[in-house]
Amino acid sequence: MGSKIPESVLVVIHTQDLQVLLLERADRPGFWQSVTGSKDAIDEPLELTCRREVLEETGIDASRFVLTDWGQQNRYEIYSHWRGRYPEGVTHNTEHVFSLCLPAIEPVRIAPREHLQYQWLPWDEAAQRCFSPTNVEAIRRLPTRLPG
């Protein structure tokens, strides 16, 4: 069994005109998602988790852009094929939703161990492409969440 902490972030990276960045998982080809990742330590602040994961997975320095905490938590059952990453008996994860607004599309440098490719898509197409219901919901809510 693993030691992964069952508390994570979902970071929907998008532009002002609602182009959304999606990544294809290396361990599950065909599974597209936004940036996700678990805390490295129980006391790691969620904003730090977001910034770290965005940099690791995309090469984008999130500190240069507007990161918004939606104040939304999703609790869901961990897919069985990923449960081995967590301590024995852990079956659920708590996910905190954030968005990262960029002024325009940025170059992306994917982490090859984690992702096969990336795409920038209009928000409605991105929502249709995602495998995770919580990711789909977040992208569908994105037009109402744009920074003022």
pLDDT in tens, the chain (148 residues): 788 898 999 999 999 999 999 999 999 999 999 999 999 999 999 999 999 999 999 999 999 999 999 999 999 988 888 898 888 999 899 999 999 999 999 999 998 899 999 999 999 999 999 999 999 999 999 999 875 5
Please check whether residue 25 is in contact with residue 129, taking contact to mean a CB–CB distance below 8 angstroms. no
pLDDT for the residue numbered 148: 56
- CA atoms of 93 and 108, how far apart (whole Å): 27
pLDDT for the residue numbered 8: 96
Q: Go through the domains of the chain in sequence order and give each one's CATH number.
A: 7-144 (3.90.79.10)
Q: Would you say the C-alpha torsion 89, 91, 94, 99 has a positive or negative sign? A: positive
The model carries a pTM of: 0.94
pLDDT for the residue numbered 147: 58
pLDDT for the residue numbered 80: 87
E strand or H helix at 13:
strand 7-15
